[in-house]
Structure 1
Amino acid sequence: MTRRLTPGELRTLFLFEALDESQLARLAEVGEVEQRAAGTDVYSEGEPATCFFVLLNGTVAMSRRIHGDDVEVSRTEQRGVYGGATQAYFALADQVYMNTLRAITDAEFFVLPADVMAASVREWFPMAMHLLEGLFVGMRASQTIVGERERLLALGSLSAGLTHELNNPAAAAVRATSALRDRVAGMRNKLAMIADGRLDGTQLHDLVELQEAAVKRAATAPELSALETSDAEDVIAGWLDDHDITGGWDLAPTLVAGSVEITWLEQIADAVGEDNLEPAVRWLTYTIDTELLMGEIEDAVTRISGLVAAAKQYSQLDRAPYQTVDVHDLLIATLTMMQAKIPPGIRKVKEFDRTLPKIPAYAAELNQVWTNLIDNAVSAMGESGTLTIRTSREEDRLLVEVGDTGPGIAPEVRPRIFEPFFTTKPVGEGTGLGLDISYRIIVNKHHGDIRVDSVPGDTRFRVYLPITDGASV
Structure 2
Amino acid sequence: MTTPAEPAATAPADSGATCTCNPEELRTLFLFEKLSDEQLARLCQEGRVELLGPGLVYQEGDPATRLYVLIEGTVALLRKVGDDDVEISRTSQRGVYGGAYQAYLGDRLPQVYQNSLRATVQSRFFVLTADCFAQIMHEWFPMAVHLLEGLFFGGQATRAAVGQRERLLALGSLTAALTHELNNPAAAAVRATASLRERVAGMRDKLRLLAAGKYDKTTLMALIELQSRAVEKVAKAPKLDPLAASDAEDVVSDWLDDQGIPDGWRLAATFVQAGLDTEWLDQVKDTVGEDMLEPALRWLNYTVETELLMSEIEDATTRVSTLLGAAKQYSQLDRAPFQVVDVHDLLDSTLLMLSAKMGPGVTVVRDYDRSLPKIPAYAAELNQVWTNLIDNAVAAMNGTGTLTVRTARDDGYALIEFGDTGPGIPAGLQERIFEPFFTTKPAGEGTGLGLDISRRIVVNKHKGDLGVQSVPGDTRFQVRLPLQAGTTNTDKEVRS
TM over 0.5: yes
**Does 2:275 correspond to 1:259?**
yes
Q: Is the 8 A contact 1:399 1:465 kept in 2?
A: yes
Partners of 2:383 and 2:298 lie apart in 1 by: 52
- Aligned equivalent of 2:199: 183
SS in 2 for 1:191: helix
Q: Is the 8 A contact 1:399 1:463 kept in 2?
A: yes
Amino acid at match of 2:334: D
Match of 1:130 among 130, 133, 146: 146
Match of 1:202 among 218, 236, 241: 218
**Does 2:437 correspond to 1:431?**
no
- Aligned equivalent of 2:43: 20
Residues 191 and 99 (structure 1), Cα distance of their counterparts in 2 relative to 1, 3 Å cut: farther
Match of 2:290 among 229, 253, 274: 274
Q: Report the identity percentage.
A: 59
The Cα of 1:124 is off from its aligned counterpart by 5.4
1:231-270 to 2 correspondence within 5 Å? 231-270=247-286
1:42-441 to 2 correspondence within 5 Å? 54=64, 87-88=105-106, 122-123=138-139, 125-196=141-212, 198-441=214-457
Amino acid at match of 2:376: P
Amino acid at match of 1:351: D
Q: Which shifted more, 226-235 or 193-202?
A: 193-202
Q: Is the 8 A contact 2:412 2:483 kept in 1?
A: yes
- Aligned equivalent of 1:472: 489
Match of 2:466 among 444, 450, 463: 450
The Cα of 1:357 is off from its aligned counterpart by 2.1
SS in 1 for 2:404: strand
SS in 1 for 2:440: coil
SS in 1 for 2:325: helix
Partners of 1:292 and 1:98 lie apart in 2 by: 65
Q: Is the 8 A contact 2:463 2:481 kept in 1?
A: yes
The Cα of 1:256 is off from its aligned counterpart by 1.1
Residues 228 and 411 (structure 1), Cα distance of their counterparts in 2 relative to 1, 3 Å cut: closer
Q: Is the 8 A contact 2:213 2:292 kept in 1?
A: no
SS in 1 for 2:431: helix
Amino acid at match of 1:238: D
5+ residue gaps, structure 2, are 1-13, 20-39, 49-60, 67-80, 86-97, 113-128, 491-496
The Cα of 1:113 is off from its aligned counterpart by 13
Partners of 1:21 and 1:235 lie apart in 2 by: 103
Q: Is the 8 A contact 1:173 1:300 kept in 2?
A: yes
Partners of 1:99 and 1:308 lie apart in 2 by: 44
If the length of structure 2 is used for normalisation, what is the TM-score? Answer: 0.72
Q: Is the 8 A contact 1:418 1:435 kept in 2?
A: yes
The Cα of 1:143 is off from its aligned counterpart by 2.2
Residues 438 and 148 (structure 1), Cα distance of their counterparts in 2 relative to 1, 3 Å cut: closer
Partners of 2:101 and 2:204 lie apart in 1 by: 78
The Cα of 1:288 is off from its aligned counterpart by 0.5
Q: Is the 8 A contact 1:386 1:405 kept in 2?
A: yes
The Cα of 1:201 is off from its aligned counterpart by 2.2
SS in 2 for 1:463: strand
The Cα of 1:21 is off from its aligned counterpart by 6.2
Q: Which shifted more, 159-168 or 277-286?
A: 159-168
Amino acid at match of 2:285: A
Q: Is the 8 A contact 1:88 1:117 kept in 2?
A: no
Amino acid at match of 1:316: Q
Partners of 1:180 and 1:457 lie apart in 2 by: 50
The Cα of 1:194 is off from its aligned counterpart by 4.0
Q: Is the 8 A contact 1:393 1:399 kept in 2?
A: yes
Partners of 1:212 and 1:318 lie apart in 2 by: 44
CA RMSD of aligned residues (A): 3.6
| 1:13-64 deviations in Å (ceiling 9; x for gaps) | xxxxx98366569xxxxxxxxxxxxxxxx9xxxxxxxxx95479xxxxxxxx
SS in 2 for 1:360: strand
Q: Is the 8 A contact 2:385 2:457 kept in 1?
A: yes
Residues 260 and 320 (structure 1), Cα distance of their counterparts in 2 relative to 1, 3 Å cut: same
The Cα of 1:87 is off from its aligned counterpart by 4.9
Q: Is the 8 A contact 1:74 1:445 kept in 2?
A: no
SS in 2 for 1:387: strand
Amino acid at match of 2:43: D
The Cα of 1:468 is off from its aligned counterpart by 2.3
The Cα of 1:304 is off from its aligned counterpart by 1.2
Residues 387 and 200 (structure 1), Cα distance of their counterparts in 2 relative to 1, 3 Å cut: same
SS in 1 for 2:336: coil
Residues 221 and 130 (structure 1), Cα distance of their counterparts in 2 relative to 1, 3 Å cut: same
